[in-house]
């Protein structure tokens, strides 16, 4: 009997499922950043808004990267449905904390796919995901740097405006 599956697809089918789940997470992340950008816009925090618009775009690019990887290798990528995006926040600090938590969740998810890819000896997927591991480190660092500004400057008076202005350089 021919190994038709291997002839049709270069990646492991279970890894394809996990990558499709990752697509959903990246799409959710992109929408969540868009909601954060909207909140910042409404509250006059223009640089932070710009920062989150850019983050939203980046998450979408990550999603498309995975999407194309699955399809290019013979699998089927599924267009994600995005549900329950949070639009209400109490402060800019809360937003950045939520953003960091979100990035940590994405990092954990990527790592668990890498572990699974290693287990099933899917080297193509493992190699592909290396880029995401580095990218996630950078994303987490960005959010941490902003949160450090809150620790340093507080949120009273002009501090919030100064933090907003510094966000553009991060």
Partner 1 sequence: MNLLYKSYYYSSYQCDNKRCFFVDFGDKPVKLSFCQLLALRQKVNSIDLNAHFDSNSNSHGIEILTLCNREHILILDTLQVIDLKQLIKSTFGMLELHALVAQTI
Binding residues for partner 1, rule: CB under 8 A, are 1-9, 13, 16, 74-76, 78
Closer of 3 and 138 to partner 1 (Cβ): 3
CB-nearer residue toward partner 1: 20 or 55: 20
- In the complex, the smallest distance separating the C-beta of residue 73 from partner 1, rounded to whole angstroms, is 12
Torsion of Cα atoms, 95 then 101 then 102 then 108, to 10°: 170
**136 is an annotated ligand-binding site residue:** yes
CB of 118 to partner 1, least distance (A): 17
Give the nearer residue to partner 1 in terms of CB position, either 4 or 158.
Answer: 4
What is the residue-wise DSSP string for 105-138? HHHHHHHHHHHHHHHTT-HHHHHHHHHHHHHHHH
Question: CB of residue 130 vs partner 1: minimum separation in angstroms?
Answer: 24
Report the greatest alpha carbon distance in the chain: 73
The annotation places the binding site for Fe cation at: 26, 59, 62, 103, 136
């Amino acid at each position: 009997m021919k190994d038709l599956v291997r002839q049709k697809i270069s990646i492991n089918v279970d890894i394809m499922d996990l990558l499709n789940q990752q697509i959903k997470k990246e799409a959710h992340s992109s929408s969540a950043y868009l909601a954060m950008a909207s909140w910042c816009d409404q509250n006059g925090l223009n640089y932070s808004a710009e920062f989150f618009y850019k983050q939203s775009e980046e998450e979408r690019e990550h999603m498309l990267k995975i999407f194309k990887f699955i399809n290019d290798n013979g699998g089927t990528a599924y267009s994600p449905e995005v549900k329950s995006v949070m639009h209400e926040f109490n402060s800019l600090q809360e937003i950045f904390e939520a953003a960091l938590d979100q990035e940590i969740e994405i990092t954990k998810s990527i790592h668990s796919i890498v572990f699974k890819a290693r287990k099933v000896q899917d080297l193509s997927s493992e190699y592909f995901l290396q880029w995401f591991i580095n990218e996630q480190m950078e994303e987490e660092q960005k959010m941490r740097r902003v949160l450090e500004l809150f620790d340093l400057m507080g949120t009273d008076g002009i501090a919030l405006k100064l933090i907003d202005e510094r966000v553009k350089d991060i």
